Amino acid sequence: MENINADKKLIAGIGSALVDVLIHEDDKFLEETGAAKGGMTLVSNEFLERTLALATGEQTVVPGGSACNTIIGVGRLGGPARFVGKRGEDYLGELFESGLRNSSVEPLLMKSSLPTGRVLSIITSDAQRSMFTYLGASAESKPEEITADCFEGAAIVYIEGYLLFNKDLMLAALKAARQAGALIALDLASYTVVEQSKDYLERFVEEYVDILIANEDEARAFTGHNDETKALRALSRKSYIAALKIGKRGSYITRAGRTVQVAPQGTGAAVDTTGAGDLWAAGFLYGLVHGYPLETCGELASACGFEVCQVVGASISEEGWNRIKRVIEK
């Protein structure tokens, strides 16, 4: 892996263009609907509608999707940002695109006759979120639509792990990013994604990925190791930079054989963990392209991850962004 080009600061993300529907429910609701706690399940639009009809809590609707959350975070931090995806020609699609522009993100959105995709994020009292996803228009993204031009000028292309559900599209994104001369960052997204893509995930990582990001459950599913030290070592053997997130205990980051431990930021209890990993990645990648020391990249990532857990959904408050930017100013 070459060092990050100092003349490039753009971070481009590719993933599903989705709108998040957030509800608060109890564990009994998860059992009744068949949600995998802490995981993500692909469903039909009809299933999503039936499940929403059973919900008792108030619904919050916001632009979402894993890579989108990360790229919006980069834009809010003040970095050049671009999101590549496909939306429907409907109200939710317009809401999604305007949300990108309002966060200083360049939209590169193809359009489909299908509805814009949605994620039902069920938040339980322990702040865990369990997700049902209807991909909608984003499922119509075609490998031939993803070319090197999508990532022109990017220092890093960030690919959400959920793209692994579409093997051909994932491979097209990896090849296009490499052709564009960008480094490739992959977040493993969910242990359910890892388990269902094991046949080709390891090969994709070893051939293309420069920056690999995982939490404990994803790392366990990918490496087979319950021990954090062994899991981190296994991740680092597969990519130049590896990050292992360990929730409220912080994270570990390795680069070229050197490991740093990052302490958690903040002391408040989590309200909702939606977007925690996504915003962690935003801070981390922003730090990398700006040449910050690995410790500072981790601190910024941790600050972003903490602040998003203080709100419902993946949109950090203005006060939160101000606190994060003080980390940069230091």
Mean pLDDT of 262-287: 87
pLDDT of residue 2: 42
Q: Residue 46: which residues within 8 A CB-CB, separation 6 or more?
A: none
Please give the Cα distance from 330 to 311 (Å, whole number).
25
pLDDT of residue 254: 96
Q: Residue 330: which residues within 8 A CB-CB, separation 6 or more?
A: none
pLDDT of residue 148: 98
Q: Per-residue pLDDT tens for 137-181? A: 999 999 999 999 999 999 999 999 999 989 999 999 999 999 999
**What is the b/e burial string over 25-55, where b = at least 16 CB atoms within 10 angstroms of the residue's CB?**
beeebbeebebeebbbbebeeebbeebeeeb
The band of 3, judged by pLDDT with boundaries at 50, 70 and 90, is low
The band of 63, judged by pLDDT with boundaries at 50, 70 and 90, is confident
Please give the Cα distance from 169 to 222 (Å, whole number).
21
pLDDT of residue 261: 95
The band of 4, judged by pLDDT with boundaries at 50, 70 and 90, is low
Q: In the numeric block, which tokens belong to residue 303?
A: 């600050």
> Could you tell me which residue, 136 or 1, shows the higher pLDDT?
136
The band of 1, judged by pLDDT with boundaries at 50, 70 and 90, is very low
Domain extents in the chain? 10-329
Q: Taking the chain, what is the end-to-end CA distance rounded to the nearest angstrom? A: 29
Please give the Cα distance from 231 to 311 (Å, whole number).
30
Percent of the chain with pLDDT over 90: 74
Percent of the chain with pLDDT over 70: 98
Rounded to 10 degrees, the C-alpha dihedral 271/92/135/16 comes to -70
CATH match for 10-329 among 3.40.50.720, 1.10.150.110, 3.40.50.1980, 3.40.1190.20? 3.40.1190.20
Mean pLDDT of 230-238: 95
Mean pLDDT computed over every residue of the chain: 92
Whether pLDDT at 268 is above 80:
no
Please give the Cα distance from 170 to 168 (Å, whole number).
5
pLDDT of residue 170: 96
Q: Of the candidates 41, 92, 67, which has an alpha carbon nearest to the alpha carbon of residue 169?
A: 67
Q: Of the candidates 108, 219, 215, which has an alpha carbon nearest to the alpha carbon of residue 154?
A: 108
Q: What angle do CA 92, 165, 61 make, to 5 degrees?
A: 25
Q: Per-residue pLDDT tens for 165-223? A: 899 999 999 999 999 999 999 999 889 899 999 889 999 999 999 999 999 999 999 99
Mean pLDDT of 302-328: 88
Q: Per-residue pLDDT tens for 67-112? A: 999 999 999 999 999 999 999 999 999 989 998 999 999 999 999 9
